[in-house]
């Protein structure tokens, strides 16, 4: 029997030991989820929204307890975590409202030749692998779980070993809230342990996988799923280096403001954001690198989520140095636990090249400043960047940034103007995904209304009797959904 | 230098020899397409619709010439091929109209907190691998090319070696029509040869692959793309066994009508349809198998597309027999060329199991009739079926087919009632794709309005100056697109 040990990032001390799921538990969780899935698939979206609302209410009711438990295991701080519980609750409500609005079903009817109705159908049980860095927003009850249930699926979540006590508590809360709201048993289940994760991805009953985490972890699950008899989609949102370009005019006008903003953004949550701006493209000679260095030197120390992440962060800095980067400045060192000092490095623009180790993510409060000589070199660097979740531009309003925005947009999912990528609002228009290796499916998003699209597939019904159609396509439109009829909406 | 030899399926005789693309030609085609792609990406959908209309007009203008050339290389017959040219032209116009309607761009604006605009952007040059069995509708100027150009992309198509002369002629016609319509040079390019196909999929400039053909071919390209540094989506629509279930009541009421319909459908185009009904699930003792056998015995012979397909078809029948199937009846044998006799076999229902060679597609005029004892056994067989493009139900109107439709829909992209799957209308509601191994991406479709979605990915623009936004998101909405603003449409 294997176990997971919870440890404090503040001290490294063991907090508790938890047994992980037995293979039979995993098998039972998937089988039960498959039974639930058949019932959920025929449930009105507005009813499902009520289930998600019940989980949201339960999260808020347990807010302080959850934030304290999370802080003990993640070291992310009470203020951030208290806010994140509220945020996670709001996300669940948002996905419920998107489901209830009904556009995600894309109900479409043609009556001209054959009578064909097409509607999105839930895929079946979804395996959700929560992230370490957002234990609520991207954890066992985070975006992926919200979007998967909202789109009519059952979820089997795999708890993250970096917060084993919290994962289990979230599982209990969800199961109780769903039962209270009248959802089918096993609409949500939680399993734990590395082996359970592998078993989930290989299980014939699982129909899609959602993952947030490292490129290594995400691509491993993706490869595993690609070896199945029935290959299934793996939506892995992985870490990337998000670049922010500063124009010469912006640097001349407000170098120290941009430097402060950059340092605050890349050290937020001890740099453990997948949207961390890992690369600042600064005009040479404008003093930006120096201003960033000065701001970094003043940063207090932070603790990282796990010992492995702390070690990887140190190794990442060493790798950057080995590959030609120079440390500009570091912040205060941690006195205990799994600390990491904020670190900013620089490298000549000409050394950046596709697949360079300089362009691999360092997870933690570490960033590169690269000085470019002119617009031509700036564009040359941008062409070498691998796919990323986000990119930014800092410019003056009088400038024409069309070409710069287009160059950055070519390889990312989101472009931010005069701001920083770390904040990701949960809205209809959000896109949190990008070209490989940002995500395994470039068109997918794990945040925003379109997140539901990952867990459904269309089925067309040709010439069927009305009663045998899914409710979304029946003549009476019992769920009151928006529909497109003969091409008109 | 490698070549492709065109041969007549009617006689096996060589019709001509064609040189295939040199690696430099492929590289040039992709580079030129990338240049074109940047321009097309900022072209109004209505303008692109005009380009597709110009290709459609050119196809119709060359209809008889093209059908004759196609018949000489494919043996599909003048009537079918003449109609298919018209159909292919209409498809291109349809995808243009879907683009012009603009919903596919999913333009979405949030103005509540951060101002975020999200719109679908073209992926870049798309590699299109045309099919052998529909030289116009799914060929070098077929559905995939239409949907890829409509969604703002450049296409590099790889011509199918089963109709080398026709592929090259279609390429010439498209290039000339696009030039006449004012499209950027290299909006469309054609390459030929097996090595060119491999090179295309591996080329860093190619951003997605569309393929229609065999499971072996499709999964090989998918594996190749999965080994790239930047993994890209491969939309492979592959052959499957499409099942049609007949209820006891329907068999009692109209066994011979159903038998005739089944035989006509599975022998259409010499059985070379990916939507061929390969498996009839018939109630035992209702005389359906006998009626099918009688109808097959009367079928004239047909010719298959290539010698390899003819050999594979014979081997497929032998494989079914080796695995326990019994031949019920065969039609007339071909006297010359690559003929195949219509063949229907049967096997006990209890022997069907997931991954059984009995459930692998035989490409050609070959089908299985399986008799089931009762509804329980029918559902047991359906649970064993692998993912497929389509499934059918034949029932009497007084029957409740809800459970049967739901069971079939679980594993296919389209369910047809009292009809046959071979006809696929190009409409807004169509779905031509299904769970693995029907397609590599179960939610994707290669036919219908949603086909455009395969070749775009969303980009969100946060707080950008209006002028730097793509036209679809600008305040003035210069393309007049439908947009969702703050959740409301």
A467 close contact with B: CB closer than 8 A: yes
Do you find a cis peptide bond into B309, omega within 30 degrees of 0?
no
Whether the complex's predicted ipTM surpasses the cut of 0.95: yes
Q: Checking DSSP bridges between strand A126-129 and strand A208-213, what pairing results, if any?
A: parallel
Through-space distance between the first and last CA atoms of chain B, rounded to whole angstroms:
56
Mean pLDDT for A118-137 is 97
Give pLDDT tens digits for B149-207: 999 999 999 999 999 999 999 999 999 999 999 999 999 999 999 999 999 999 999 99
Please state the rounded mean pLDDT for residues A167-192: 98
Question: CA-CA distance, A292 to A342, in Å (whole number)?
Answer: 11
Look at residue B337 in the predicted model and tell me its pLDDT.
84
Q: How confident is the model at residue B1 (pLDDT cuts 50, 70, 90)?
A: low
Instruction: In whole angstroms, give the CA distance from residue A230 to residue B437.
Output: 7
Measured CA to CA, the distance from residue B392 to residue B135 in angstroms comes to: 26
Alpha helices in A385-449 (DSSP H): 402-409
Of the candidate ranges A44-48, A100-104, A338-342, B452-456, the one whose mean pLDDT is the lowest: A338-342
pLDDT for B335 beyond 90: no
Q: Give the model's pLDDT for residue B29.
A: 98
Residue B365 has what pLDDT?
Answer: 97
Quickly list DSSP for A313-353.
HHHHHHHHHHTT-EEEEE-PPPSSSSEE--EEEE--GGG--
Cβ(B208)–Cβ(B126) below 8 Å? yes
> Cα separation of B155 and B446, whole Å?
15
Q: Which residues contact A315 (CB under 8 A, 6 or more apart)?
A: none
pLDDT tens per residue, range B346-379: 999 999 998 899 999 999 999 999 999 999 999 9
Position A214 scores a pLDDT of 92
Give me A336's structure tokens.
Answer: 């205990």
| Per-residue model confidence (pLDDT) at position A334 | 73
Distance CA A222, CA A127 (A): 12
Dist CA A221 CA A202 (whole Å):
9
Say if the Cβ atoms of A462 and B112 lie within 8 Å.
no
Q: B227 exposed, middle or buried (CB, 10 Å; 0-12, 13-18, 19+)?
A: exposed
pLDDT average, residue stretch A310-322: 96
* pLDDT tens-digit series, residues B406-450: 999 999 999 999 999 999 999 999 999 999 999 999 999 999 999
- Percentage, residues of chain B above pLDDT 90: 97
B455 vs B434: CA distance, rounded Å: 18
Note if A274 is an active site residue: yes
What is the pTM for the complete model shown? Answer: 0.97
Under 8 Å CB-to-CB from A90, ≥6 apart: which residues? Answer: A56, A426
Length of chain B: 489
How far does the CA of residue A187 sit from the closest CA of chain B (Å)? Answer: 18
Query: In sequence order, what are the residues at sequence separation of 6 or more whose Cβ sits closer than 8 angstroms to the Cβ of residue A72?
Result: A6, A8, A15, A165
What are B412's strand-pairing partners?
B388
Contact A445 B465 (CB under 8 A): no
> Using CA atoms, how far apart are residues A311 and B148, in angstroms rounded to an integer?
46
pLDDT at A78 > cutoff 70:
yes
Which distant-in-sequence residues (6+ apart) come within 8 Å of A388 by Cβ? A240, A241, A242, A243, A411, A412, A413, A434, A435, A438
Mean pLDDT calculated for residue range B4-17:
96
A303-317, B246-260, B329-343: which has the minimum mean pLDDT? B329-343
Considering chain B, what percentage of its residues have pLDDT values greater than 70?
100
The pair of structure tokens assigned to A377 is 């070199």
The rounded Cα B301 to chain-centroid distance in angstroms is 25
Q: Is A231 on the interface with B (CB under 8 A)?
A: yes
DSSP A68-137: HHHHHHH---HHHHHHHHHHHHHHHHHHHHHHHH-GGG--EEE-SSS-EEEEEEE-S-EEEE--SS-TTT
Place of tokens 């809230």: A177
Catalytic residue positions of B?
237, 274
Convert the pLDDT of each residue in A454-481 to its tens digit. 999 999 999 999 999 999 999 999 999 9
> In which residue are the tokens 């029948």 written?
B317
Query: pLDDT tens-digit profile of B381-404?
Result: 999 999 999 999 999 999 999 999
The answer to whether B333 contacts chain A (CB < 8 Å) is no
- A-chain residue closest to B385, CA distance: A230
Percent of chain A's residues with pLDDT above 70: 100
pLDDT, tens only, A361-386 = 999 999 999 999 999 999 999 999 99
CB B207 within 8 A of CB B169: no
Q: Are B118 and A467 in contact (CB < 8 Å)? A: no
What pLDDT is stored for residue A1 in this prediction? Answer: 67
pLDDT at residue A42 greater than cutoff 80: yes
Which residue bears the tokens 């393309």? B479
Tokens 């597309």 -> residue: B305
B450 near A CB under 8 A: yes
Q: Identify the CA nearest to A156 among candidates A125, A201, A192.
A: A125
Phi, psi of B281 (to 5 degrees): -100, 105
A172 tagged catalytic: no
Q: What stretch of H or E contains B94? A: helix B78-101
Report, in angstroms and rounded to the nearest whole number, the Rg of chain B calculated over CA atoms. Answer: 23
Whether B398 has its CB under 8 Å from any CB of chain A: the answer is no
Cα–Cα separations (whole angstroms), residue A23 to A30, A207, A228, B250: 11, 18, 18, 45
> Are B417 and A463 an interchain contact pair (Cβ–Cβ within 8 Å)?
yes
Q: Which pLDDT score is estimated for B112?
A: 82
In this predicted model, what pLDDT tens digit does every residue of B456-465 receive, in sequence order? 999 999 999 9
Instruction: Give the H or E element holding residue B101.
Output: helix B78-101
């Amino acid at each position: 029997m294997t176990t997971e040990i919870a440890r404090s990032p503040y001290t490294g001390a063991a907090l508790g030991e938890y047994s992980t799921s037995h293979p039979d538990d995993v098998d039972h969780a998937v089988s039960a989820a498959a039974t639930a899935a058949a019932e959920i698939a025929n449930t009105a979206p507005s009813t499902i929204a009520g289930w998600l609302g019940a989980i949201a209410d339960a999260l808020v009711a347990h807010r302080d307890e959850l934030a304290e438990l999370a802080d003990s295991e993640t070291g992310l701080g009470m203020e951030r975590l208290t806010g994140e519980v509220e945020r996670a609750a709001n996300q669940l409500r948002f996905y419920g409202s998107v489901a209830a609005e009904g556009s995600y079903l894309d109900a479409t009817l043609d009556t001209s030749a054959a009578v064909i109705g097409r509607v999105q159908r839930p895929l079946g049980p979804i395996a959700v692998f929560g992230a370490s860095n957002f234990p609520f927003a991207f954890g066992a009850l985070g975006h992926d779980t919200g979007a998967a249930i909202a789109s009519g699926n059952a979820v089997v979540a795999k708890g993250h070993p970096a917060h084993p006590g919290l994962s289990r508590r979230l599982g209990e809360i969800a199961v109780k809230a769903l039962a209270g709201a009248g959802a089918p048993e096993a609409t949500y289940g939680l399993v734990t342990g590395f082996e359970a994760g592998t078993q989930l991805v290989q299980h014939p009953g699982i129909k899609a996988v959602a993952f947030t985490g490292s490129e290594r972890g995400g691509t491993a699950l993706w490869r595993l799923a690609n070896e199945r008899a029935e290959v299934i989609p793996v939506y892995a949102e992985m870490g990337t280096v998000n670049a922010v370009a500063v124009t010469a005019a912006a640097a001349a006008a407000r170098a120290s403001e941009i430097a402060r903003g950059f340092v605050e953004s890349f050290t937020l949550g001890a740099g453990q954001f997948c949207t961390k701006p890992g690369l600042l493209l600064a005009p040479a000679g404008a003093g930006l690198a120096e201003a960033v260095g000065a701001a970094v030197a003043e940063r207090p120390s932070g603790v990282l989520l796990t010992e492995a992440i702390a070690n990887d962060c140190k190794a990442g800095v060493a790798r950057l140095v080995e590959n030609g980067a120079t440390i500009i400045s570091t912040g205060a060192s941690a006195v205990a636990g799994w600390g990491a000092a904020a670190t900013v490095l620089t490298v000549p623009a000409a050394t950046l090249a596709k697949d360079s180790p300089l362009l691999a993510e360092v997870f933690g409060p570490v960033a590169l400043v690269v000085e470019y000589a002119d617009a031509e070199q700036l564009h040359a660097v941008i062409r070498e960047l691998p796919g990323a979740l986000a990119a930014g531009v800092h410019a003056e309003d009088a400038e024409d940034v069309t070409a710069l925005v287009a160059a950055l947009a070519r390889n990312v999912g989101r472009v931010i103007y005069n701001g920083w990528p770390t904040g990701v609002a949960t809205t209809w228009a959000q896109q949190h995904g990008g070209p490989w290796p940002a995500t395994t499916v470039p068109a997918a998003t794990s945040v925003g209304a379109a997140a539901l699209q990952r867990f459904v597939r269309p089925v067309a019904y040709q010439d069927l009797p009305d009663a045998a159609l899914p409710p979304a396509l029946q003549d009476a439109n019992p769920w009151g959904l928006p529909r497109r009829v003969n091409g008109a909406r």
